[in-house]
Amino acid sequence: MNKRRLTRLWKKPAAEKHLASELQFHVEQQIADYIASGLSPVEARRRANLEFGSVEGLKEECRETRWENQLDIFIRDFRFALRGLLKDRRFAIVSIFALALAIGASTAMFSVVENTLFEPFPYKDQRRLVVVHIQDLDEKDNTRSMFTMPEIEEIRKQNKVFEGTAGNQQDDIVQLGNDTNLRLDGNFVTPGSLDFLGIPALLGRSLEDADYQPAAPPVFVLRYRTWQGKFNSDPDAIGKTFTLNGVARTLVGVMPRRFAWGGADLWIPCSYEAAQTLTSGQFDKYWGFVARLKPGVSVDEASADLTLITKRLAALYPKDYPKHFDTSVESFGHAVVPQQFRNSLYLFLTAVSLLLLIGCGNVANLLLARATTRHKEFAVRAALGASRHRLIRQLLVESLLLALGGALLGVLFAWAGVRVLSTSMPDGTIASETVIEMNPTVLVFALAIGVGTIFIFGLVPALRASRCDLQDSLRDAGKGLSGTGSHARLRNSVIVLEVALSLTLLFTAGLFIRSFLALSHVPLGFGMDHVLSARIPLPPNRYKTPAQIATFYGPLLDRLKSLPGVAPAATSSSYPPYDCCPSEIEIAGKSHDEKRNATVQLSSEEYFQVLRIPFLEGRTFLADEVNDARKVAVINQTFRSRYFKNENPIGQRIHLKLMETVPDPVANAWFEVVGVVADAKNHGLENPNDAEIWFPYTVYPRPAWALLVRTVNNPAKMIETVGKEVWASDPGVAMADPQPLERVHDVNLEQPRFGLWLVTIFSTIGLMLVTIGVYSVMAYSTSRQTHEFGIRMALGASASDVLKMVLRKGLRVLLAGISIGLAVSFALSRVIVSQLWGVSAFDGLTVVAVVTLVSVVGLVACWVPARRATRTSPVSALHYE
Amino acid sequence: MPTEKNDLHRGTLDMLILKVVAAGPLHGYAIAQRLNQISKDYFQVPQGSLYPALHRLEEREWLDAEWKVTSTGREAKFYTLTSEGRKQLDAEVLGWERLSDAVSLILRTAD
């Protein structure tokens, strides 16, 4: 745009003067010519003016050709639209809010699903990454997707479907420090693993082919988060050497933020030769195994190929395979996000898509309602000479304002929603690599639908109005008894659907709330307050035998007990409310046909005291029994009542078959019962208790143990003190995940809490949208009926008659919605019942509460416009419009 | 609508104005006079569309405008053709000739 055009912006008065004198010159010139041709001056002026027509109209047309005047017109339209919206503030706020809610909620939820389910990983060609499952056909819980090194070698050699594979082995890594040790989650990775994942290092370098050679100098790479948190983001750490599990390793690189393979802190290269002999990990024998399908190979083809291979492997290693099994290949993303969580997300996704539709439906209803009431305004303006395109442009600007407001607020809602959802996502439900952020495509899509609704429903009335027969509109045709006809039916059915959907969402939320409350009030049977818990992995090379393990724990537990602020301390094989290892059992002198099972726990003598689990009969282990690794046992109440009924269990002998089949088996695994304790939750919060049996930890060498310390004050404050004692017992050992036991328990509640939270938010949004919907439709239909009410009131109807009439109509719509909603809720609750606990899928309290809530909110939404209708005096109602 | 005098298409009017102005600087009234003189029998240039058209052409920079004193001693706005306008005129004339050739060919041969 050149300078002259710009200067015209502030030279408008001069331009106006020029325009006027140009036109005047024309007219005067014409008059002069007419006079010259012999007309009288009066007649000459009359003819010239007649020919020239409306000077003002012409001026306006000339003005419109100039760009700065176009801008002017736009600003005028803009101000006009703004004034119109401000005058009808309720309409503007409600439509902008409805639109923003719909856009915000759907974008946030779609983004979460997109990031967690569709693109959870940063890895190369992640959609083709798969895992292999071996499923025992006889026992549902027996499944594995980890393989031994020889199996992996065979699969790599024999398969025809994989482009590449990667194996990883978790290990506890202790980094030796000067005064304390750092415990890290390590991952040994098979050759080429990091190239397979296809992500270059952020700092330094990634692992290279040479690093995986058996004789290569020992190196490792760090996870970004660990580098940040435990290495103080020190760039000079790269190139330095750290002692990890007794081996001096050089840090060669830091991986990018989203790289979190296996959820580890660091990755150590491992050759296939070394992998065969690596026995240090938690699962010493089995390796994590991920493969990438060749392009064009389907999951089914891969499953078929792997079935052949695993059948051959089963013949080679019969002990590693169940009698009847099925081999399947599953996408890696699906394997990482639990099925149940995936289902919940899809459920919410559906709900949210419907919310978007409801929101747009509301806005459409509002716009249509407003347009109908403005029908006459348009007709008048068209009659006064407003051109069709001016009218349309004015409405377009108004729509633009609404859309802009809704879009801006919607983006804000979406942004906040994504932030809140991503920070409240419970650990372990999504992959560690997943970063939840707003998805621009989804946002654009939601915006397009929302803004499109506004433009379509904002313009349709304008087109109709500008085309309409003036006479008809001005004559006020089509007024009178309304609320009938196909339009009204359509609007009402939208409301019925909205109410039904909202009720379904609320009902689901209600069930989740009830279920969560039940779950968080489950009597645990043990005291978890004031208990510090930690895992202590012991280096397996130095702690092979039970005696060696006892030399670590014996002195450590004694030392901890003598600390000020510590009541008793104990070690055990796992934390409550989860048990350890199920075993088939036999009881001496009893024969039975069915399989008998109990879960096995190893512990020190003060375990029951630390967790405040009371003894019902007998006693705990004696210190000597623990020291001498005697085969004595304590059983729980469930065990006692299930297998001993009325007999005295003390002194009975129990055979734990598991202990004879594990590596380093216990010879002659018969244990004598010395005590019975009360039941404490041992199979998760949701499930009934298992029969459980404890025996001294000195009987069997497990590589990892739980440490439980009962403290007098806040256990979190004791972490450092206890850590120092652990270090003092053995400088090569460190605690893993030390935290108060209550915190561990809280994690168990996190996922249900998250589900509850999501469903509550969305049902609230749903309720808000439905309120807006009911209100807008009722307000519209009552405003259409103002004339009718006037006649009725003039004929003697009282205000309460009118009120009743409106409410009755609203109630009819509400009731239809509520009954459909209840039917859908009951159908749906059968699907979500698997995610509920301690509450029936047809919970009466929830039904009553939800129906009441929806009815009250719906009636209030009807009552406001109904009230307004009754307040109009009959006279003004009849004059109306 | 009376049919004896044809409506002028906007593009055609623009072309005619450019053509008239091409002869030398003219004010609006003179342009109107010229157009009516030349085309008297075929169509009437409505005053209502002349001035918006002139302003439109000026906005597009096909015409340049200047306030000058007329022979009768009055101030008037004179329009001249710019080089852009000349190019546009040539293009439109060419297009028009092609069209009219084609149309007359069809009218002659379709009989």
Give the closest of A23, A30, A65 to B59, CB-based: A65
Higher local confidence (pLDDT), A326 or A755: A326
Chain A CB within 8 Å of residue B51 CB:
yes
Closest residue of chain B to A68, computed from CA coordinates: B59
**Res A219 pLDDT > 90:** yes
**Res A15 pLDDT > 90:** no
Q: Residue B38's pLDDT band (boundaries 50, 70, 90)?
A: confident
Give the closest of B27, B29, B59 to A30, CB-based: B29
| Mean pLDDT score, A92-116 | 85
Q: Which of A590, A598, A708 is nearest to A652 (CA)?
A: A590
pLDDT of residue A11: 73
| A411-443 tens-digit pLDDT | 999 999 888 888 877 766 667 777 778 888 888
Phi and psi angles of residue B60, each rounded to the nearest 5 degrees, phi first: -80, -5
Q: Residue A483's pLDDT band (boundaries 50, 70, 90)?
A: very low
For residues A511 and A840, the answer to whether their CB atoms sit within 8 Å is: no
Contacts of A641 (CB under 8 A, 6+ apart): none
For residues A41 and A35, the answer to whether their CB atoms sit within 8 Å is: yes
pLDDT of residue A308: 92
Query: Which of A9-18, A83-92, A629-638 holds the top average pLDDT?
Result: A629-638
The mean-pLDDT minimum among A192-206, A649-663, A751-765, B94-108 falls in: A751-765
Tokens 């002259």: give the residue. A4
**Res A482 pLDDT > 50:** no
Question: Between chains, do B28 and A61 touch, taking CB under 8 Å as contact?
Answer: no
Give the closest of A21, A22, A62 to B52, CB-based: A62
| Mean pLDDT score, A375-402 | 76
pLDDT of residue A481: 41
| Mean pLDDT score, A301-325 | 89
Query: What one-character DSSP code corresponds to residue A218?
Result: P
Chain B interface, mutation test: which of A17, A65, A69, most B Cβ atoms within 10 Å?
A65
The mean-pLDDT minimum among A468-482, A676-690, A709-723, B85-99 falls in: A468-482
Question: Between chains, do B48 and A58 touch, taking CB under 8 Å as contact?
Answer: yes
Q: How far apart are CA A556 and CA A29, in angstroms?
A: 116
| Mean pLDDT score, A328-337 | 82
Question: Between chains, do B76 and A22 touch, taking CB under 8 Å as contact?
Answer: yes
Domain over B10-109 is classified CATH 3.30.420.40: no
Question: Between chains, do B47 and A65 touch, taking CB under 8 Å as contact?
Answer: no
The mean-pLDDT minimum among A217-231, A382-396, A847-861, B43-57 falls in: A382-396
Q: How far apart are CA A521 and CA A837, in angstroms?
A: 11
For residues A842 and A510, the answer to whether their CB atoms sit within 8 Å is: no
Chain A CB within 8 Å of residue B64 CB:
no
Three-class SS state of A1: coil
Question: Between chains, do A61 and B52 touch, taking CB under 8 Å as contact?
Answer: yes
pLDDT of residue A71: 77
What is the value of pTM for the model shown?
0.65
pLDDT of residue A877: 63
pLDDT of residue A514: 86
Higher local confidence (pLDDT), B83 or A575: B83
pLDDT of residue A574: 76
pLDDT of residue B76: 87
| Mean pLDDT score, B51-68 | 87
Q: Please report, rounded to a whole number, the percentage of residues in chain A having pLDDT higher than 70.
A: 91
**Res A494 pLDDT > 90:** no
Three-class SS state of A707: strand
pLDDT of residue A638: 92
pLDDT of residue A409: 93
Taking the CB of residue A100, how many other CB atoms lie within 10 A of it?
22
Q: Which of A355, A350, A365 is nearest to A103 (CA)?
A: A355
Q: Residue A563's pLDDT band (boundaries 50, 70, 90)?
A: confident
Closest residue of chain B to A30, computed from CA coordinates: B29
Question: Between chains, do A25 and B74 touch, taking CB under 8 Å as contact?
Answer: yes
Q: Residue A53's pLDDT band (boundaries 50, 70, 90)?
A: confident
In Å, how far is B14's CA from the nearest CA of chain A?
14
| Mean pLDDT score, A598-617 | 90
| Mean pLDDT score, A75-94 | 84
pLDDT of residue B8: 60
Query: What does the mean pLDDT of chain A come to?
Result: 82
| A109-164 tens-digit pLDDT | 888 877 877 777 888 888 899 999 988 888 777 788 888 888 898 999 999 999 99
| A787-816 tens-digit pLDDT | 788 788 888 888 888 888 888 888 888 999
For residues A442 and A410, the answer to whether their CB atoms sit within 8 Å is: no
| Mean pLDDT score, A276-282 | 59
Q: Residue A501's pLDDT band (boundaries 50, 70, 90)?
A: confident
Task: Please enumerate, as own/partner, the contacts of A743-746 that have beta carbons within 8 Å and a separation of 24 or more.
Answer: A744/A528, A744/A533, A744/A575, A745/A524, A745/A528, A745/A577
Q: Residue A281's pLDDT band (boundaries 50, 70, 90)?
A: very low
- ipTM for the assembly: 0.83
For residues B12 and B49, the answer to whether their CB atoms sit within 8 Å is: no
Q: How far apart are CA A118 and CA A111, in angstroms?
A: 10
Q: How far apart are CA A759 and CA A349, in angstroms?
A: 11
pLDDT of residue B10: 67
Q: Which of A876, A860, A688, A702 is nearest to A768 (CA)?
A: A860
